[in-house]
Amino acid sequence: MSDAALTPALQARSLSKSFGTVQAVRGVSLEVQAGETLALLGPSGCGKSTVLRCVAGLEQPEAGQVFVGGREVTALPPEQRHVGLVFQDYALFPHLSVLRNVAYGPSMRGESKPRVQMRAREALDLVALGELAGRFPAQLSGGQQQRVALARALATRSPLLLLDEPLSNLDEKLRAELRTDLRALFGRVGAGVLIVTHDQREALALADRVAVMRAGQLVQVGPAPAVFREPHSAWVAAFLGWPNILPQGDGRALLIPEEAILLGVGEACPVTARQVTETGQTVQVHHSLGRLTLHLSAREAPQAGDSLTLNVDLNRVKTVPDDRELS
Ligand SMILES: Nc1ncnc2c1ncn2[C@@H]1O[C@H](COP(=O)(O)OP(=O)(O)OP(=O)(O)O)[C@@H](O)[C@H]1O
């Protein structure tokens, strides 16, 4: 493997940034390898965008360093950092054609006209919009505009792409389509990708690794499926949507995965609440461990009368620190 392939696309070391009395980012360190997608995930206001903006050079951190492709860029302005940016309001130039929008980055870098055109066409082909090169942004759908914004970032051939909630302005159907497209696209271009999202599904669908942020700090970083399967704390589990987190009153909580709940054997548990969903029912039951929430498929749902017989496989239950009350 060449040295270039071994050099991380991004190294952010101990970044801190405050706005007045708000400490938005506290000592965040991250690495994104070439060809890897890392999703920065966390609730609104936890500092995700600020990390991205510090990396892009749109904010100056009080402390910490940023390296892009092994080169320190901490003191450089955004245009000298060699990163491709895609933000949620993709801000295409309305008076320029799709091709000229995409060519804008390379042309600003003083490349020859034929080369600029070639780069822009290649980038448009990557996002499957080559045929719409002559249109103007207003003549495109939201999803197509978002793909133009991506092509514009790709055309810079930056070793690092930064995406801030790139799909958030799109409807659910388009989001689902683009998620699949983006994953394949990231695989093809070989750049490191740092993507900010508050949408767990998006993170899981797009990213190789996820970094979960809480109140300005990283609280768990790891391969996406592993973080979703094994949250290190009750707060991370709750943020990732785990329905069954049972406080133990000793600063710890039990995490009960869906597959640990075995139906049809064991304790008869009174049903305390029931809600019909698109795919079946969500029921709450009173179990000796505590209150449990279960999703029942349409096939299982009729079995739920006033009580539900179930067993919790304790071998699959994890005990984690219950840190949900910390600020
Ligand atoms: N320019 C600014 N001036 C003052 N406070 C700011 C500024 N930018 C961000 N903040 C504050 O810093 C904190 C982190 O904001 P940031 O936008 O990074 O969060 P986020 O996790 O990206 O949130 P969201 O998901 O809602 O976009 C918040 O408390 C926010 O109000």
Name which of 32-41, 163-172, 255-264 the model is least confident about: 163-172
**Model confidence band, residue 35 (pLDDT cutoffs 50, 70, 90):** very high
In this prediction, residues 19-30 reach a mean pLDDT of 96
Residue 107 has pLDDT above 60, yes or no: yes
Give yes or no: residues 128 and 216 share one domain. Answer: yes
If one counts the domains in the chain, the total is: 2
Beta strands in 58-205 (DSSP E): 63-68, 71-72, 83-86, 160-164, 192-197
Kindly state whether residue 327 falls inside one of the protein's structural domains: no
Pick from 229, 258, 283: which residue ends a domain? 229
240: in domain:
no
For ligand 1, atom 30: residue with the closest CA: 45
24/148 same-domain check:
yes
Residue 130 included in any domain: yes
- Does 237 reside within a domain? no
CB atoms within 10 A of CB 83: 27
Could you tell me whether strands 160-164 and 37-41 are parallel, antiparallel, or unpaired per DSSP bridges?
unpaired
For 252-305, write each residue's pLDDT tens digit.
999 999 999 999 898 999 999 988 888 888 999 999 999 999 988 877 766 657
Give the mutation target among 16, 18, 48 for probing the ligand 1 site: most ligand atoms within 8 A of CB. 48
Task: Report if residue 242 sits inside a domain.
Answer: no
pLDDT score, position 4 = 56
Pocket, ligand 1, Cβ cutoff 6 A: 19, 22, 24, 42, 44-50, 198
Question: Alpha carbon of 91 to those of 154, 181, 323: distances in Å?
Answer: 16, 21, 40
Same domain, 28 and 95: yes
In a domain, 143, yes or no: yes
- Report how far ligand 1's centroid is from the alpha carbon of 49 (Å): 7
Which of 52-61, 81-90, 133-142, 313-322 shows the lowest mean pLDDT across its residues? Answer: 81-90
The helix (run of H) or strand (run of E) holding residue 273 is strand 261-276
**CATH number of 296's domain:** 2.40.50
Do 78 and 176 lie in one domain? The reply is: yes
Among candidate residues 162, 229, 153, 150, the one with its CA nearest the CA of residue 192: 162
Q: Are 262 and 128 in the same domain?
A: no
Does 221 share its domain with 287? no
197 and 101 inside one domain: yes
What domain range includes position 103? Answer: 3-229
For a pLDDT cut of 70, what percent of the chain falls above it? 95
Q: Do both 199 and 260 map to the same domain? A: no
Looking from the CA of residue 46, the nearest atom of ligand 1 is: 21
* 86 pLDDT tier (thresholds 50, 70, 90): confident
CATH number at residue 106: 3.40.50.300
Instruction: Tell me whether residue 197 is in a domain.
Output: yes
pLDDT at 59: 94
Do 291 and 179 lie in a common domain?
no
313 and 265, same domain (yes or no): yes
* pTM, full prediction: 0.88
String of DSSP letters for 153-171? HHTTT-SEEEEESTTTTS-
311 and 216, same structural domain?
Answer: no
Task: DSSP letter for 36, please.
Answer: -
pLDDT in tens, 178-228: 788 788 888 888 899 999 988 888 888 889 999 999 999 999 999 999 999
CB atoms within 10 A of CB 206: 25
Instruction: Please give the mean pLDDT across all residues of the chain.
Output: 89
Stretch among 62-66, 132-136, 163-167, 205-209 having the lowest mean pLDDT: 163-167
**Which pLDDT score, from 0 to 100, does residue 49 have?**
93
In a domain, 113, yes or no: yes
